[in-house]
Amino acid sequence: MSAKQSLSSLILGALFGSGLLISGMIHPQKVQNFLDVAGSWDPSLSLVMGGALLMTAIAFPLILKRREPLFAHKFHVPSAKNLDAKLVVGSALFGIGWGLGGFCPGPAIVGLVSGSSASLLFVVSMLLGMALHRTYHDLRSPPT
Smallest distance, Å, CB 143 to other proteins? 10
Smallest distance, Å, CB 144 to other proteins? 15
Query: What distance lies between CA 77 and its chain's CA centroid?
Result: 15
In a 3-state reduction of DSSP, which class is residue 100? helix
Tell me the C-alpha to C-alpha distance, in Å, between residue 60 and each of 52, 56, 66, 126: 12, 5, 10, 29
Smallest distance, Å, CB 11 to other proteins? 6
For residues 115 and 142, which CB has a smaller minimum distance to other proteins in the complex? Answer: 115
Residue 52 CB contacts under 8 Å (≥ 6 apart), including other chains: 19
Residue 114 CB contacts under 8 Å (≥ 6 apart), including other chains: 26
DSSP state of 64: T
Smallest distance, Å, CB 135 to other proteins? 10
